[in-house]
Amino acid sequence: MHRRFLIMGAPALLAACSSRWSTNFDTQLTPDVTRSWRLNTVQVTVPAELTVSEANRLAPNADIVWHGEPRGNRRKQVASIVEDGITSGASALQGSQDVTFAVTLQEFHAVTPAAVNTAPGAVHNIAFTIQGFDSETVAPVTEPEFIKADLPAFTGAAAVVAAQEGQTQKVRITNHLARVTQSWLGIGEDVRGDFSGFGR
């Protein structure tokens, strides 16, 4: 039977902007907790109130900005990227308890072509809340966790070289989300940290 999981007590959106960014979360789980889990599925919700912009300028004022794929349903596109990244990271869990991760997206503001071409630097701003549930009983196995997963973006010649090497925005963000997920689950290196740079 298909079950839908809702995150309990998701924190409010962070609206402040600054020149300092982070990959961060408050509580890192431990292998003692997570080694018994096995990934069942990842469910990503994109709230209707999140704004979307197709504007090709340096930093559109919107929650969802994504130009890394042909124009289409940006909500579905970014939800798929988040789902793929978290699934990739959590697939390393090899226990016996099936766990579903419910994710509520709060921001997915990737850089625009204008920023890639003209900005001296840029940042992909990504934020979401995640909570784990037992897939059978629907009992929560974690508290809701707010995760900031900002990632420095390539601009100028570096972006061209990266794309030629297959390191597109989509690939880099997906891989970054996988590493962040493993870090939160306590099964990968601790990737938390702050950095400075140009961004929204």
Average pLDDT over residues 84-106: 97
pTM: 0.89
Nearest CA to 153 out of 95, 103, 93, 111 is that of 111
Tokens of 175: 């891989």
Task: Kindly tell me if the per-residue pLDDT of 84 is higher than 60.
Answer: yes
| More confident of the two residues 86 and 20 | 86
Task: Kindly tell me if the per-residue pLDDT of 54 is higher than 70.
Answer: yes
Task: Kindly tell me if the per-residue pLDDT of 15 is higher than 50.
Answer: no
Which range (8-12, 64-68, 74-78) has the least confidence? 8-12
Q: Are 93 and 181 in contact (CB under 8 A)?
A: no
pLDDT of residue 19: 74
Rounded distance, CA 66 to CA 68, Å?
6
Question: pLDDT tier at 121 (50, 70, 90 boundaries)?
Answer: confident
pLDDT of residue 16: 35
